[in-house]
Amino acid sequence: MLDQGAPPQEQRTAAPASPGVAARLMRRKPVERLVAEGGQGEGGSLRRSLGLWQLTMISIGATLGTGIFVVLGEAVPKAGPAVTLSFVIAGLTALFSALSYAELAGTIPVAGSSYSYAYATMGELIAWVCGWCLLLEYGVSVAAVAVGWGEYLNELLDGTIGVTIPDALSAPPGDGGVFNLPALIVVLLAMAFLLGGAKESARANTIMVCVKIAALVLFCAIGFMGFKSGNYAHFMPFGMAGVSAAGATLFFSYIGFDAASTAGEEAKNAQRDLPRAIMLSLVIVTALYVLVAAVAVGARPWRKFNDSEAALARIMTDVTGQSFWGTLLAFCAVIAIASVVLTVLYGQTRILFAMSRDGLVPKVFAKVHPKTGAPRANTVIVSLFCGVLAAAIPLGQLADATSIGTLFAFALVNVAVVVLRRSRPGMPRTFRVPLSPVLPALGFAFCVWMMGSLSAVTWVVFGVWMAVGLVFYFGYGYRRSRLATSADVAVAAEK
């Protein structure tokens, strides 16, 4: 009973207190709200136009790029002919995280990828950290991949018309170049496709992916003509230590399979197709990697790989005795890198779109053009930033830090799938990670192990990047978060 002598205002029921700092940082966004907001932007909505085929091609496009054209020459000297096992081990390592991505992509089919998964399971601060890591992974990797495009373009020009772009305008800044014009051009070309809409850019990507798959199949057909079983005589010259060392190097050739998860709000049937696209793309890429590696080692003694970044082109030239095939492969490498730039740039814009919609970054990144259904301002800003970064700024250790950002995001996804299983066990799932929580735990452990193998300088760069991200979050996102402000409005209404 109320005290009859108390002032009227004291007889009222006390209003709920505003949530404290810790509660705000740990506030989770309900899965239902994430899904309900899917596609909604400022002034328009993303269009659902992508089917299973296009989603699979997006993942393959982001994964199958410079890795197989370059990294094979780095991995073979570490493992010898057993590099084929290294590809399998790296593929299995990627598989653990891919399984977790597949379950969450089918359960929470939104554009934010692991950022959104973390928001639904571990709270706003962890989601911000994950999103900030994704900005590092996608944004800087676009620039890093674009830098290499000029090198392959020069090889193609030299082999066809005998003319090359001067180093000052084609080499990486800090490595003999002043302004990498081809890097800027390939990013702007990708931007042009993306501005046309998801369907149009997916069509262009599909054509480019088919070209580079055909090139690798052609390599296998030609390389097999020079296959010598004697090259496999000493299969594992450095033992399992060499196989695992090469596997750690090759793991980063698989990064990109998660790109399909950023298309969750533009897929026709996201809950069904996203898990399938992620798993199918990983199977196709792994099969191609193992087949190409097996043929390459069979056609060229493994000790001759240590002096070549363009190993595949040299093998085709050696087997046929004609330089035409090397030039053809350079052309395919140009297409392959362009496809990676396109799909990774696409993923970057969609992650920023989701973060902007949540209020953690400025609203301009969530504005959707009503005619094309694409976030135009977002695409232009991100493209210009990545293009200038690639063309004019030495990336150095920042490019290496993309690996640690990727692994950190992968680790969080493996945690998120277990958390969501425990917090929402009855939620419909179109795909389930088998043997959970064992496989997610293995995925988490492998990611942590690979992070630990990176250099101290990479960790320092990563630490600085995270510090900058936290400053931005507490200076902007913490106060403007839509989830936090909507809760504050509800509390104020009750007072």
Helical (H) or strand (E) element with 202: helix 198-225
Average pLDDT over residues 14-27: 68
Could you tell me what percent of the chain has a pLDDT over 90? 43
CA distance 182 to 171: 9
**pLDDT given for residue 2 in this prediction:** 42
Using CA atoms, how far residue 286 sits from 86, 253, 442, 455, in Å, is: 11, 10, 19, 27
Using CA atoms, how far residue 21 sits from 26, 357, 475, in Å, is: 9, 22, 14
**pLDDT given for residue 6 in this prediction:** 46
Higher pLDDT, 307 or 137: 137
Q: What is the pLDDT of residues 215-252, one digit of tens each?
A: 899 889 999 999 998 999 889 999 988 888 888 778 87
What is the torsional sign of CA 236, 237, 241, 245? negative
Check pLDDT > 50 for residue 391: yes
Classify 108 as helix, strand or coil: coil
Tell me which residue of 383, 356, 385, 384 sits closest to 368, measured CA to CA.
356
Average pLDDT over residues 87-103: 91
Output the pTM of the full model.
0.88
Using CA atoms, how far residue 241 sits from 33, 233, 248, 447, in Å, is: 48, 19, 11, 18
Classify 196 as helix, strand or coil: coil
Higher pLDDT, 320 or 57: 57
Classify 45 as helix, strand or coil: strand
**pLDDT given for residue 75 in this prediction:** 85
CA distance 408 to 402: 10
Which amino acid is present at 359?
G
Higher pLDDT, 349 or 319: 349
Q: What is the pLDDT of residues 23-42, one digit of tens each?
A: 778 889 999 998 888 888 88
- The pLDDT confidence band at residue 486, using thresholds 50, 70 and 90, is low
Check pLDDT > 50 for residue 3: no
DSSP 16: P
- The pLDDT confidence band at residue 66, using thresholds 50, 70 and 90, is low
Which amino acid is present at 112?
G
Q: What is the pLDDT of residues 406-465, one digit of tens each?
A: 889 999 999 999 999 999 998 989 999 999 999 999 999 988 888 887 778 888 888 998
For residues 192-230, one letter each, b for 16 or more C-beta atoms within 10 angstroms of the residue's C-beta and e for the rest, the string is: ebbbebbbbbbebbbebbebbbebbeebbebbeebbeee
For residues 406-442, one letter each, b for 16 or more C-beta atoms within 10 angstroms of the residue's C-beta and e for the rest, the string is: bbbbbbbbbbbbbbbbeeeeeeebbbebeebbebbeb
- The pLDDT confidence band at residue 95, using thresholds 50, 70 and 90, is very high
CA-CA-CA-CA torsion for 296, 302, 306, 310, nearest 10 degrees? Answer: -10
Classify 177 as helix, strand or coil: strand
Could you tell me what percent of the chain has a pLDDT over 70? 91
Tokens standing for residue 290: 């193992």
Using CA atoms, how far residue 258 sits from 105, 282, 397, in Å, is: 9, 10, 23
Mean residue pLDDT across the chain:
85
